[in-house]
């Protein structure tokens, strides 16, 4: 067996170890412990169905899904919006350095927030850069 094969075997065995399922057994009657949620305390424990023995799991986080409801004012805008035939075109110079494009499409923000208000956004037809005029 080459050293490369043994390295692959170690990687596979490490992957198997991480997916290993552990069973817990009651210390009093040796029956299997089952997960139980205490909704009032918000804790997880393992409990025996035979003798009511209980064992706390501890502060273990398996997965956390954090959702953010903040949306950028130009969310959903892609470079393809410049080729949309339904958007109006305007002769505006692109502010991106090195672009030099003078054709842009413009649209009003679709976000219904006080910050965006009635602000227009421009998209350069040459490079796809998105910008908005400075509020004055």
DSSP for 74-94, please give it: TTT--GGGGG-TTSPEEE---
- pLDDT (0 to 100) of residue 2: 45
Q: How far apart are CA 73 and CA 77, in angstroms?
A: 9
Binding residues for Zn(2+): 26, 29, 48, 51, 94, 99, 124, 127
Higher-pLDDT residue of 55 and 111 is 55
Angle at 62 between CA 56 and CA 66, to 5 degrees: 125
- 48-103 pLDDT tens trace: 999 989 888 877 777 778 776 665 555 556 667 778 888 899 998 999 888 888 99
Query: Is the pTM higher than 0.75?
Result: no
Backbone angles phi, psi at 104, to 5 degrees: -140, 150
Which residue positions form the known binding site? 26, 29, 48, 51, 94, 99, 124, 127
When pLDDT is averaged across residues 116-136 and rounded to a whole number, the result is 79
Domains, in order of start, for the chain? 3-56 (2.20.25.10), 79-131 (2.20.25.10)
């Amino acid at each position: 067996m080459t050293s490369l094969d043994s390295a692959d075997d170690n990687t596979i065995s490490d992957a198997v170890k991480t997916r290993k399922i552990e069973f817990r057994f009651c210390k009093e009657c040796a029956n299997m412990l089952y997960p139980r949620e205490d909704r009032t305390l918000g804790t997880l424990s393992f409990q025996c169905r035979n003798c009511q023995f209980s064992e706390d799991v501890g502060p273990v986080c398996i997965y956390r899904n954090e959702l953010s409801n903040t949306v950028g004012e130009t969310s959903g805008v892609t470079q393809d919006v410049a080729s949309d035939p339904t958007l109006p075109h305007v002769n505006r110079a692109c502010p991106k350095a090195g672009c030099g494009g003078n054709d842009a499409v413009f649209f009003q923000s679709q976000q219904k927030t006080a910050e965006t208000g009635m602000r227009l956004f421009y998209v350069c037809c040459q490079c796809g850069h998105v910008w908005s005029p400075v509020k004055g």
